[in-house]
Structure 1
């Protein structure tokens, strides 16, 4: 169970792209804690410098500032690397609808650059972030690999194209690729700020500051919220997977289903607040319900998520209470 007892050959070296981001920085921390070497790559377009700086004095950590849209940077970053954990991407469905060309450049071309760089450097395993958004308008629950609908956003399209390239790179070039379809990941270091912030950190910050959060739609949309520890486990277990599993995509979630309005009520109770939310319009490109069948990841990757939503949200709330500056009544 979990990932703390996963063993890799002595001297193993990992590359984490998007190392300054939410998921990337948590992967860096976990791998360093396991005793292996890590190289991080990021250009800070969405990541935070403090997520890199906290590890810079670690003897097993090396950081490269660079852009995955530059092939030479990608090739250099993959030199002497055994395992690539490719997290660098631009997220957010609404933002992708506003900026489809940027998403094409970063999420597709950048990922293709990284796969090619990994191939040229003889990397053992290439694990990359996909997304539950690839299921599009397919109405059935739980979501099952191989049963996808029409895509609803440029973001979803970029992740689907990444999966197709992953399949091809395994088939044509023998690069073991593993696509991880993340379902609404949350946890420590997830950014609560900005128009495109994820709902859990955004709501927590607003409630801590006695502000009224906006719930898009009626609050009856449901999600398979997945704590960061489960995602770390999935990445590391994919690095240990057999070549039989290569070239495929896997649902990475806890396998639960939470309604947004219930999460809001849970946060109110946990934070001791009594604040009515504001209800806004549905977000264009969003799917209404999401819940994962994780049996394929369990069978082929040995994935056994330990962190339920309830356990994860308790730890996340405590982290944000410690790390967010909360306004006083004077607004200071």
Structure 2
């Protein structure tokens, strides 16, 4: 279902994180969007004024940063009042983090999502999109992953994302809210941080390369991922909210590619002027061996979404990390 909007104000939860910051920049391109609010507690996000390369450009007046916590309903209601759309990216990511502290993962990801949906309902928000994860497929070995497959999550993080998408779809059914739950598949791109223990694999690789340290690979490196450029993710989210794209069930946000970690390392070795060493260690609990999306539903709902070539997108983020 689609419908065009006039000018609008958008809230991005987690809007100072990796995907959120890229999304805010993407939203500001659109003349239909008057202003973008961000809600962030800065646990991992960075204020725009503190971002490397930030300048007080004319569009900076169109961003309103709100400090708050998803676990606090009052914070979420305050941030949501008066907006026409919400993109809910705020979460505690990482499978290993959820194994270490499942209670906090649940509080932020599940209760936080419920707070966002309740605040949006109370304030009459016209469209809410939420970020789910390919991790919900878990032990389901069928490839590619189509949305009708059973979900067999292997970690507390995956369970929390399954709850996130289920709540969004339930609010659509129960309250008539326009929602869209998108299952992200290994998003990567510029601004993705590597300076914490739960960082994703590509920024961890690039940080190690920049510091002339060996890469750590859990397993034999033949595990594969449907790596998705942040440019595709932010484009899909922008087009979806501008056109009030909704669907009663979750939608994969990836394009059906499969790239092994060893293949990623091979590309980085082609570009890097010095040798890259790799340490292969035991696999981690809760990790999925292979991940690949069936993109048919996404392409039917968002046929114009950009889909950058993986090698181009990886080279772009390599250059960004190396300061090239």
SS in 2 for 1:101: helix
Deviation at 1:262, TM superposition (A): 1.1
Equivalent residue number for residue 29 of structure 1: 25
Deviation at 1:242, TM superposition (A): 5.5
Q: Does 1:307 align with 2:303?
A: no
Deviation at 1:196, TM superposition (A): 1.2
Check the 8 A contact 1:143/1:290 in 2, yes or no.
Answer: yes
Equivalent residue number for residue 328 of structure 1: none
Check the 8 A contact 1:166/1:248 in 2, yes or no.
Answer: no
Equivalent residue number for residue 13 of structure 2: 17
Equivalent residue number for residue 63 of structure 1: 65
Check the 8 A contact 1:19/1:28 in 2, yes or no.
Answer: yes
Equivalent residue number for residue 289 of structure 1: 290
Match for 1:118 among 113, 120, 131? 120
- Describe the superposition over 1:214-260 as per-residue Cα deviations: whole angstroms up to 9, x where unpaired: 111000100000000000111122214566x3332110113211011
Q: Does 1:254 align with 2:250?
A: no
Check the 8 A contact 2:185/2:227 in 1, yes or no.
Answer: yes
Equivalent residue number for residue 47 of structure 2: 49
Partners of 1:180 and 1:55 lie apart in 2 by 32
Partners of 1:300 and 1:174 lie apart in 2 by 19
Unaligned runs of 5+ in 1: 1-6, 324-332
Instruction: Provide the alpha-carbon RMSD of the alignment.
Output: 1.8
Deviation at 1:8, TM superposition (A): 6.2
Check the 8 A contact 2:252/2:297 in 1, yes or no.
Answer: yes
SS in 1 for 2:179: strand
SS in 1 for 2:323: helix
Check the 8 A contact 1:166/1:247 in 2, yes or no.
Answer: no
- Describe the superposition over 1:75-106 as per-residue Cα deviations: whole angstroms up to 9, x where unpaired: 11111101101100010001101100001100
Match for 1:209 among 208, 211, 217? 211
What TM-score, normalized by structure 1, do the two folds share?
A: 0.91
Check the 8 A contact 2:229/2:310 in 1, yes or no.
Answer: yes
Check the 8 A contact 2:84/2:126 in 1, yes or no.
Answer: yes
Going from structure 1 to structure 2, the CA distance change for 1:167 and 1:56 (only over 3 Å counts) comes to farther
SS in 2 for 1:248: coil
| Structure 1 segments of 4+ aligned residues over 6 angstroms from their partners | none
SS in 1 for 2:251: strand
Q: What is the aligned length?
A: 316
Check the 8 A contact 2:4/2:244 in 1, yes or no.
Answer: no
Partners of 2:168 and 2:248 lie apart in 1 by 6
Unaligned runs of 5+ in 2: none
Check the 8 A contact 1:18/1:40 in 2, yes or no.
Answer: yes
Going from structure 1 to structure 2, the CA distance change for 1:50 and 1:82 (only over 3 Å counts) comes to closer
Equivalent residue number for residue 37 of structure 2: 39
SS in 1 for 2:20: helix
Going from structure 1 to structure 2, the CA distance change for 1:26 and 1:261 (only over 3 Å counts) comes to same
Deviation at 1:154, TM superposition (A): 0.3
SS in 1 for 2:232: helix
* 1:1-332 alignment runs, 5 A limit: 9-35=5-31, 36=33, 37-50=35-48, 54=54, 58-241=60-243, 245-302=246-303, 304-322=305-323
